[in-house]
Structure 1
C-alpha cells in the first residue's frame, strides 16, 4: 500500500526541473472566486469531498462581482402564483435554444430551485411576498415568469454571500495567482487526467535567470519566494469565466480575462465556441444599458474623432418618428443583439451603432437630457406596447432622464457611484455593441466534467448553453454546474476513490510544464534586458482590436480568415517575439496572460472558420455576411418591406435553425485546431417510477 502525500495548508518544496518549487497538495483545486467557484467550494465542503484549495488571479475582480445590468436576472423554475410549470417544461425551454445538450438542460431545470433556495438561505435577498412566494417576471426567450432579481447587482450579492460561507468553512483561498498551465497525465489508451496546476504568483518579484532562481537570497540570507507555485490535486473545478480578454469592445469588467487557453493546451475540448452574445453597453464605465435605460427612449448621437460633427444618426435610416421611438423602447426588452430581429426589428439599432463605431470610426453616446428628433416627446406615435408600458409607469412626458428617474431612480444613481463618474442629468454616456457573454466554452458532460478526467468547467468557462438562452440562465447554470461537479467529486472522485500523484510521478508530470514556463519568461526578459522594447501590452491591445473588428457581432468568411492568419502567426512566433521586463510583475504576468488569450483566440477563430465551412449562417447574436442574403428592411411607413441603404457587410441569410440539432466541438492537438460535429444529446426520458429511482439512489450513488 502506497502512502498518500499529505494535504498541506503550506506548500512543501519539491525539486522539479532542477528547481526547488513549492507544491501545495489538495484533493480539489477550485480556480476562480466568482459565484460558480465559491458555490463549488461551498458544496464540496458540505458534501465531504476532501481537502479544497481555491486560487484566483484577483479575488476582487471578475464578472460575478463587477458586472450587471439594469435588473440583473436569475432564471429558475416558477415558485409563485398559479402559472403552470415543471422541470421538464423548463428543460424544454432551455433545450429549444438550439445546440444545447439535453442532459445539461434537464439538470439546469431540475436543480434550479435547489440552487436558488440555497442562495436565499445564505442571505441573497430575492423578493418574496408575505406568503413566501418568490415572485417572478418574464425575461427574454422565456414563455413563463421564471425570472427574478435583486437589482443591478444580483450576481454581486450572490458572490458576497457565497464567499462568506466559504470563509466560515475555513477553505484556503490563494490570491494573485495567474494560471500558467494544467498538469495532466496520459494513460496508455490516450485518455488524460488532471494531476495539478501551475500558477505564477504575481505578489512576489520574478527572478530573471535560472541561476538567480536557485542562488539569490534576500537580506537575511533566506532564499527568495518562488514566483511559481504548483498545486497537486485530483480534481480541478475550472471557474475561470469566459475568455473575455479576446475582445477590445467588451462589457466584461477590467480584471476578467479567463484562462481557457491553458485548458485547451491540456487537451480539454471546446463546444459551441462561435456563440458569443453581444449587446449595447456603456464603455466608460462598462455596464449593460438594458431595461429602463432603453425603455425611457434616450437620444442616440455620434461624434467624429475630434469630438465634433454631432449627428443624431438613427434618423439617417429610420425616418419615421414613431418607429424610431418604438424600436429604441424595444431594446429594453430585447437587449441582446439578435440577428432574427435585425431584419426589421429592434436589433437594427445595434447594426446602426456598429456602423458608426466600426465602419465610420465615430464615437456613439446616449443623451438622456433631450428627446430624440424633437424637443417635445410625443407618446401618441409610440407602438401600443410601448405606450401602455410607459403610461403604467407614469412616464409619458418629459425628457429621457426625467422618465428614467420616475421609473428607476437607482438606474440613474448607479452611474453617479461609478468610476468614471457620469451624471446623466448633464453628461453623455458613451456606448458600443460589446461582447457580453460566451454561450459556448469548454465541453461538459451531464456532471460538468470535461473530456479530461477530473477537470470540471463551471460557470461561463463551461459550454453548457446553446445558441439562445433565457435571460438569467447563466447565473443559474453556474450554480447548477458547480453543484453537479461537487456532487460527482464527492461521490466518485474523493480521496477514497482517486489518489493524487506521489512525489516522483508528480515531478515527472510537472517538469515539462514548468520548464516551458521558465523558458518563455527567460526569453522574454532576456530580450528586454538586451534593449528590445517591451511589447507584451501592445500585443494584447492589437489582438483585442483585431478580434473586435474581424470577429465581433458582424463577421464574414474573409474577416475571420484575415484574423486567423494574423493570430496564427502571433501564436507561432510568440516565444521568440514577446518581450517583457523582469522587474515588472505585471509584465511577467501578462507574458502568460497574452499567451493564454492568443491560444483561445486561435481556437475560437478556427471554430468560426469551421462553422462557415460547415454551412453555418447568421444565428444567435452574430451576423455572418452573405452575398446571397438580404439587407435589413424598413418596418415602417410606405417603404415597409423595402431594403435599407446599408453597407453590403450587413447582407445576411438566417440559419433558420438548420444546425440546432448539432454541436460543434473543438480540440487543440500539437498546436493545431481540429473539429467534429455531433448530434446534440437529447433530453433524457423520464424515469419517474419512485421505487426504481429510490433503489438506484440507495445503491450508493448509482445515479452517478
Structure 2
C-alpha cells in the first residue's frame, strides 16, 4: 500500500460506493463479467433504504411475465416515458433489462411469488396500465439486498465499512479517485482516519440525499452523498421532482395499502398530545366522501397534485395543514371508526365498497378490518423500535419525503457527464415526474447492470495519476478538521448537530410538498449563508469520531440543499407550476375541492404537462467570488425513445462482427 500526505492509498479499477441493492448488483455484475478488480465502500453496510425501508406490500416493477395480457418492451418503455421529463433511452433500457434483472434476483433466491406453472403473477400499481407489479411483502428490497450481498461475499469482493464520503477526485473531466473518512478510526490516534482510493471508475450507489429533510420516511442512517458529486462537477437532473407521502414517524414506515384501505380515523393533537380533534371533518363534511378518500389513499398513496383538486391527495394537504401550518401532531387511530361509532359501508363509493366487500371486511373497527385483511401489517409495528400496538395505541404520521425521482445526471449507460462516474439507484436521476410504483427497484438493477457492462467492456484500464488533485483534496479535508477542532478547543461549542437539525427543519418547512417562490428564496438565502461561512464557523470536537464525521456529513447536506434549492428557484423562474408530488403556491390558482376556508398557500395551478418534454440540468462550480459556489442551469429537450433497427439478421451481424452495443 502507498501513502499520500500520510493517508493510505488503495489502487483499484472500480470502487462501488454504497451497499444497497443497486450497489451490490453492480459489484456482482462486474465480477460476473470478468472485472474482479473491484472494492465496495459504505458508511454503514447495514444501513440504507434498500435494507430498511418498505411498505405493507413493497412493489417491484417489471415486464409482464404471466397470463394472457399483452405487453412488450416498447410498451413498458412508453409507460415509463409518459411520466414526463424522462429520457427515452433510459426508459427503453429499464424496460429491456427488466426481465433480465428480475429473473436474476429470482435465481439468487428472492422469493417472488409464482404459480405452479412458473408464471410470476403480477398486479396493477400506481401509474401502471398493466399488471407488471410484484412483491415478496413488506421487505422486498431487503430480500433483494440480502441475496445480492451473499453473492458478493461468495465472489470475495472486499468491502470497506464505516467510511464517510468526503470528496470525489476528478482529473481533466474524468474520475481519478475518492477520499473517505474512516469513522471507526479515532482522529487523534496514530492511524490516519482518512483513506484514498485511486480508481478508473466510481459506481455511485449512495441513495438519494435523504439527509436534507427532517420530515422523511427514509430510514435512520440513509443520508446520501450527492454533495460530493456536485462539488466534483457531476450535473444534476430533474432535482425538483421529489415524492412525498403519508408515513408513520416513530417508527418510519409508509402507511400505504391496507393501512389506508381499512379507513382509520385521523386525529390531531397539540404538541403535548392533548386537545384531540378529528380534523378531516372540517373540510370533508360528507361522511361517505371522507371515508372513500381515505380508502383511496391506500393505492393512491403518493401525494399527487393532480388528485388534490377533487381527489384523495386532499388528505395529504389536510395533514400538512395540521403539522406544518398549525404546529399540531397527527395520528391514525385504528381503534375507532371515522365520524361515528358504527361503520356504515353503504356510504362508501362503489369502488371502495366492492373492494372491502370482496375482502370480507364490511364490519367492525379499522383494527378489526386490518387484522382480517392483512395480519402482517398489524404485526409489523409490534416488532419495531419503538414498539406500537395498533390495538391500544394511536400511530403518529406526517407527509414525509420518500423518494427523489431526480438525481445525478445519467446517459443510456448510466454514466454521468464526468467520465467514469456512474450514478445508479436513487442517486441517479433516471426517473421523470411520475413513475410506476416499484419502478425504482427495477431502475436500480438495470442501471447497475448497464454500468457494469460498460465498465467491463470499455473501462478496464489502470487509474490515471492523481497526486496533485488528490493532494489538494486531502489538504482541504485536513484543514477543515483542524479549523473546526481548534474552535471547539477554544471553547466554541460543537455546532455540527445543531446545523444538521436546522437545515433539515428548514428544508421540510420551505421546500417540502408545498412550496412557493418566496419560501424557496428564503430557504436558499439561509442555506447559502450557512454554506458560504461553513469553513469559518463549523466547530467539532476532535476527540469525537461522531463530531468529525458530521463535519463532512453536514457539508455534504448543505451542498445538496444549496443545489436543490437553486434548481427549485430556476424551475419556478422557468415557468414551472405544480406537478408530480409538489404544490407550488400560485395566488391566482384554485383551492382544492373549492374549500375557501383552506389557506391561500394551497392555491395552485397545474403544470398540465407543459414541461414534460424538457429536462432541467443543474451544475455547481467553485467561484472565487462566492465560497458557496456558483450555480448554472440548462433546459434541454428530453431524449426520445430510440427507434433502432430491430431486424434480427442486421442486429446479429453487427453483434457478431463488432460487439459494438456500447
TM class by shorter chain equals over 0.9
Q: Which residue of 2 aligns with 1:667?
A: 619
Instruction: Give yes or no for contact 2:171–2:466 (8 Å, CA) kept in 1.
Output: no
* Aligned counterparts of 2:45 and 2:638: Cα–Cα separation in 1: 36
SS at match of 1:333: coil
Q: Distance in 1 between matches of 2:630 and 2:657?
A: 44
Aligned to 1:202: 183
Equivalent residue for 2:496, pick from 536, 539, 551: 536
- How many residues align? The count is 656
> Alignment partner of 1:627: what SS?
strand
CA deviations over 1:532-552 (Å, ceiling 9, x no partner)? 011000000000000000000
Q: Which residue of 2 aligns with 1:499?
A: 462
Runs of 5+ consecutive residues of structure 2 not aligned to the other structure = 623-628
What is the Cα deviation at residue 13 of structure 1? 2.9
**Pairing partner for 1:589 from 542, 545, 549:** 549
Cα distance in 2 between the residues matched to 1:686 and 1:145: 27
Structure 1 counterpart of 2:28, from 37, 42, 45 = 42
The answer to whether the Cα contact below 8 Å between 2:283 and 2:595 also exists between their aligned partners in 1 is no
Question: Paired residue for 1:219?
Answer: none
Match of 2:109 in 1: 123
Is 1:13–2:13 an aligned residue pair? Answer: no
User: Alpha-carbon deviation of 1:226?
Assistant: 1.1
Of 310, 319, 324, which aligns to 1:353? 319
Structure 1 residues not aligned, in runs of 5+: 1-11, 187-191, 208-215, 217-223, 634-641
Given candidates 260, 276, 287, the residue that maps to 2:242 is 276
Give distance in 1, aligned partners of 2:658 and 2:113. Answer: 38
- 5 Å-filtered alignment, 1:325-404, equals 325-404=291-370
| Pairing 1:300-699 to 2, within 5 Å after superposition | 300-494=266-460, 498-501=461-464, 505-633=465-593, 642-670=594-622, 671-699=629-657
CA deviation after TM superposition for structure 1 residue 654, in Å: 0.1
In the alignment, the residues of structure 2 paired with residue 74 and residue 304 of structure 1 have an alpha-carbon distance, to the nearest angstrom, of: 38
State the alpha-carbon separation in 2 of the partners of residues 617 and 300 from structure 1: 30
Aligned match of 2:254: 288
- CA displacement 1:129-160 (0-9 Å, x = unmatched): 00000000000000000000000000000000
Q: How far did residue 50 of structure 1 move?
A: 4.0
TM-score w.r.t. structure 1 length? Answer: 0.93
Q: Secondary structure at the match of 2:208?
A: coil
Q: CA–CA distance in 2 between the matches of 1:174 and 1:375?
A: 56
Give the whole-Å Cα distance in 1 for the aligned partners of 2:281 and 2:612.
36
Counterpart secondary structure, 2:177: strand
> Using the alignment, how far apart are the partners of 2:403 and 2:7 within structure 1?
37
Specify the SS of the correspondent of 2:195: strand
Q: Is the 2:249–2:397 contact (alpha carbons within 8 Å) kept by the matching residues of 1?
A: yes
Q: Deviations over 1:403-444 (max 9, x none)?
A: 000000000000000000000001100000000000000000
Task: Verify the 8 A CA contact 1:317 1:644 in the aligned structure 2.
Answer: no
Q: Please show how residues 229-244 of structure 1 align to structure 2 within 5 Å.
A: 229-244=195-210
Quick one: distance in 2 between partners of 1:700 and 1:176?
43
Moved more, 301-310 or 333-342: 301-310
Cα deviation, 1:481-509, whole Å, max 9, x if unaligned, reads: 00000000001001xxx3212xxx32222
- Distance verdict in 2 for CA 1:323–1:618, change over 3 Å: same
Calculate the aligned-residue CA RMSD, in Å. 0.7
Shift of 1:308: 1.1
Match of 2:626 in 1: none
Please give the alpha-carbon distance, in whole angstroms, between the structure 2 residues aligned to 1:164 and 1:295: 36
Deviations 1:62-92 (A, max 9, x none): 0000000010000000000000000000000
Q: CA deviation at 1:691?
A: 1.5
Q: Is the 8 A contact 1:665 1:677 kept in 2?
A: yes
Corresponding residue for 2:625?
none
> Residue deviations 1:571-593, cap 9 Å, x none?
00000111010000000000000
Task: Indicate conservation of the 8 Å contact 1:267/1:667, yes or no.
Answer: yes
Q: Distance in 2 between matches of 1:562 and 1:423?
A: 41
Q: Is 1:91 equivalent to 2:77 in the alignment?
A: yes
User: What SS does the corresponding residue of 2:137 show, helix, strand or coil?
Assistant: coil
Per-residue deviation, 1:644: 3.7
Alignment pair present for 1:193 and 2:151: no
The CA deviation at 1:96 is 0.0
- Which whole-Å CA distance do the structure 2 matches of 1:409 and 1:91 have between them? 36
Measure how far apart 1:699 and its partner are: 3.1
1:69 paired with 2:21, answer no
Q: Deviation digits for residues 23-70 of structure 1, max 9, x if unmatched?
A: 111100000000000000000000012400000000000000000001
Task: Check the 8 A contact 1:276/1:439 in 2, yes or no.
Answer: yes
Separation of aligned partners in 1, 2:260 and 2:205: 32
SS of the residue corresponding to residue 180 of structure 1 reads strand
Q: Contact 1:13–1:20 at 8 Å: present in 2 too?
A: no
Q: Aligned equivalents of 2:579 and 2:77: distance in 1? A: 21
Give the distance between the partners of 1:697 and 1:412, measured in 2 at CA: 53
Query: How far apart, in 2, do the equivalents of 1:285 and 1:450 lie?
Result: 35
1:620-672 deviation digits (Å, cap 9, x = unpaired): 00000001111011xxxxxxxx4442000000000000000000000001111
Equivalent residue number for residue 220 of structure 1? none
Give the Cα separation in 2 of the matches to 1:70 and 1:484: 30
